[in-house]
Chain A
Amino acid sequence: MNAYEGLVDTGEERHWAFGTGFTAALSGVDRALPAEVDTEDLTAYCLMLGDDALILSQRLAEWCSRAPELEEDVALANIALDLLGQARLLLTRAAEADGVACDEDTLAFTRDEHEFRNVRLVEIDCGPGPGGDFAATIARLLVFSTYRLALLQRLTGSRDPVLAAVAAKGVKEVAYHRDHAAQWTLRLAGGTEFSRERMVAGLERVWPFVDELFAPHPVEARLPGIAVDSATLRAEVDEVLDTVFAAASLARPEVSPLATVAGRGGRDGVHTEAMGYLLAEMQHVHRSMPGATW
């Protein structure tokens, strides 16, 4: 087709010049809610996993046009896009389970900070802002993708067919994210003296937030066969990280875990001070134009 051809002839049918070839990510998956499930818990669980992906995607996208090399601009944007895709599927499932008339955008753009259920690890500034640098970004990605891959692998067996399908799709993506982070960990740790210092500092930056990933949550406990018990992931994650650290001649950081606030952390809607600014930026346009369609 001639790329000059006007848009007006075909615009109504959303008829793209070169075709899209896209099919819906979960087409053919049974969307009925599993029997005997507390829908409030299922909603909360989908938000936990969906918000992790959404907020880390928001952070990673900050690198766009700021990466150390063009190839890395492409790679980080790609990882952010994968996570955004996972977030959209999970928030859509949360909206379905909730039963109230809402969708992925209502959940992403109109919830207040205390309603977000992501772990604090994904929301802190690990660069390109002043809170970190490329090494801290890689350190967080290594930890998070190792944790999420272990989680999604188990979730493929979930009794909720939608969660199982999201997990099956996500496993392939996150395996690549983990590999990318591990490859950079080797290079930064084994590159120059300076890059090694930055890698060590990056791991120290994120390490206080690691324990929260494995804290068992009551929502998980109330969804047997559907959710994954986070505490069961620790051994595998430790093993993978130790393997990477050994190959990179790095020591596991000796940094104490960050306390919760009166027993509550990110999964319970109690976040770091960074979260408010992140949401203010993310939600501003959507909230400023009530009734708008995008």
Chain B
Amino acid sequence: MELEHEFERVVAADHRVEPRDWMPDGYRRTLIRQIAQHAHSEIIGMQPEGNWISRAPSLRRKAILLAKVQDEAGHGLYLYAAAETLGADREDLTAKLVEGRQKYSSIFNYPTLTFADVGVIGWLVDGAAIVNQVPLCRTSYGPYARAMIRVCKEESFHQRQGYELLLTMMRGTQAQRDMVQRSVDRWWWPSLMMFGPPDTESTNTEQSMKWRIKRHTNDELRQKFVDMTVPQAEKLGVTLPDPDLRWNAERGHHDFGEIDWAEFWQVVGGDGPCNAQRIAHRRKAHEDGAWVREAAAAYAAKKSGEEQVA
């Protein structure tokens, strides 16, 4: 009881909970699940953009894209490390991912069909991720909050690079402008879905807010994203594919149309355009690399054996 009071006091005072502090089992489980899903999202997220590294149409864009996908691997690494501070094991979390027992952000189950998608993912998907993640820099669990500060800085950099690609393309040929618009048409609604189900249907929100893991509801964050993005779309010269999107002076926010929640649940449920492909890709890399990891472990064991003998 005393431990629980101390935990509640720390959380209520907006102080950070650290790995060696006592914490309720539910808090630990919720965090491991959330951080693992976040790490999985970074790793699966390497695929849709990695799809365009080999075909990037300029060497500068190739370098930017390769560096970005490399950053995502880095984000995955330190998020797995944050999960390990809670007693999770990376190998075990990876097994859960490739066996479909843990989820990742559904946005990565959509295909990247043109190079414009690289820019639109940077602008909308990374933009939505930033809106979701900036509050996590103040989340109650210390290692997660600190990891998120670095992740958010890099995501912000990625978002600007994506937007800059789109600005450049919109100033290019008509074919490029058309390519950007088609890409926006495909990514707009899935980006809005990134904030999760509406508050009335979100099962995890209430407890997570009480523990200060989460600080805003899904709908609050979604509204913030829409309000932020509309002027950026205008500046870019693209049309967001929503006839109901308009400024509501009374609310001081943009109204927007109804999200296709049937599609959302279909993709979350495993039947998105690329769910099977993404998992199969990750599983293949993991399985193909098993003998390399075994070799490294065997070599390390031999070396430490030799040192003990010597």
Q: Which residues of A contact B (CB under 8 A)?
A: 3-4, 6-8, 11, 14, 16-18, 54, 58, 61-62, 64-74, 77-78, 80-81, 84-85, 87-88, 91, 104-105, 108-109, 128, 133-134, 186-188, 190-192, 194-195, 198, 281-282, 284-286, 289, 291-294
Q: List 21 A-B contacts (CB under 8 A).
A: A3-B153, A4-B130, A7-B160, A8-B232, A8-B234, A18-B156, A54-B59, A65-B50, A68-B285, A68-B292, A70-B76, A70-B77, A81-B63, A81-B70, A105-B58, A134-B289, A192-B298, A195-B295, A195-B298, A285-B57, A294-B57
Check A18–B157 contact: CB distance below 8 A: yes
Check A187–B172 contact: CB distance below 8 A: no
Given A67-B285, A81-B66, residue A73 in contact with residue B57 (CB < 8 A): no
Given A195-B295, A292-B175, residue A17 in contact with residue B228 (CB < 8 A): no
Check A67–B289 contact: CB distance below 8 A: yes
Q: Which A residues touch B34, using CB under 8 A? A: none
Check A289–B176 contact: CB distance below 8 A: yes
Q: Which B residues touch A3, using CB under 8 A? A: 130, 134, 152-153, 155-156
Check A84–B63 contact: CB distance below 8 A: yes
B147 beta carbon closer than 8 Å to chain A? no
A103 to chain B, nearest CB (A): 9
Instruction: Identify which of A6, A78, A109, A285 contacts B70 (C-beta below 8 A).
Output: A78
Q: Which of A61, A64, A65, A134 has the most B CB atoms < 10 Å from its CB?
A: A65
Check A81–B67 contact: CB distance below 8 A: yes
Given A6-B231, A66-B285, A105-B59, residue A294 in contact with residue B173 (CB < 8 A): no
Q: Which B residues touch A4, using CB under 8 A? A: 130-131, 134, 224, 228
Check B288–A192 contact: CB distance below 8 A: no
Check A71–B295 contact: CB distance below 8 A: no
B77 to chain A, nearest CB (A): 5
A169 to chain B, nearest CB (A): 15
Given A8-B235, A78-B70, residue A292 in contact with residue B176 (CB < 8 A): yes
Instruction: Identify which of B62, B77, B115, B235 contacts A11 (C-beta below 8 A).
Output: B235
B26 to chain A, nearest CB (A): 29
For the complex with contacts A7-B232, A293-B173, 14 further pairs of A-B residues with Cβ separation under 8 Å are: A3-B134, A3-B156, A8-B231, A18-B157, A65-B285, A66-B284, A67-B289, A68-B288, A80-B66, A81-B63, A191-B298, A192-B291, A194-B295, A291-B173
B299 beta carbon closer than 8 Å to chain A? yes
B232 to chain A, nearest CB (A): 5
Check B50–A11 contact: CB distance below 8 A: no
Q: Which B residues touch A78, using CB under 8 A? A: 70
Interface 1/0s, chain B 280-310, versus A by CB < 8 A?
A: 0110110011111111111100100000000
Check B292–A188 contact: CB distance below 8 A: yes
Check A188–B295 contact: CB distance below 8 A: yes
For B70, the closest partner residue in chain A by CB is A77
Given A6-B231, A65-B46, residue A293 in contact with residue B168 (CB < 8 A): yes
Q: Which residues of B contact A (CB under 8 A)?
A: 43, 46-47, 50, 53-63, 66-67, 69-70, 73-74, 76-77, 80, 115, 123, 130-131, 134, 152-153, 155-157, 159-160, 163-165, 167-169, 171-173, 175-176, 224, 228, 231-232, 234-235, 281-282, 284-285, 288-299, 302
A227 to chain B, nearest CB (A): 23
Q: Which B residues touch A198, using CB under 8 A? A: 291
Check A69–B293 contact: CB distance below 8 A: yes
Given A134-B292, A293-B171, residue A7 in contact with residue B73 (CB < 8 A): no
- Secondary structure at the B interface, as helix, strand, loop or mixed, is helix
Q: Which A residues touch B46, using CB under 8 A? A: 64-65, 73
Distance between Cα atoms of A88 and B63 in the complex (Å): 10
A125 to chain B, nearest CB (A): 13
Given A191-B294, A195-B294, A293-B168, residue A69 in contact with residue B66 (CB < 8 A): no
A39 to chain B, nearest CB (A): 22
Check B295–A192 contact: CB distance below 8 A: yes
Distance between Cα atoms of A58 and B235 in the complex (Å): 35
Q: Which A residues touch B61, using CB under 8 A? A: 294
For B179, the closest partner residue in chain A by CB is A289
Check B77–A71 contact: CB distance below 8 A: yes
Check B57–A109 contact: CB distance below 8 A: yes
Given A7-B160, A70-B76, A192-B295, residue A289 in contact with residue B175 (CB < 8 A): yes
For B224, the closest partner residue in chain A by CB is A4
Q: Which B residues touch A291, using CB under 8 A? A: 172-173
A122 to chain B, nearest CB (A): 15
Given A285-B115, A293-B168, residue A195 in contact with residue B156 (CB < 8 A): no
Q: Which B residues touch A192, using CB under 8 A? A: 291, 294-295, 298
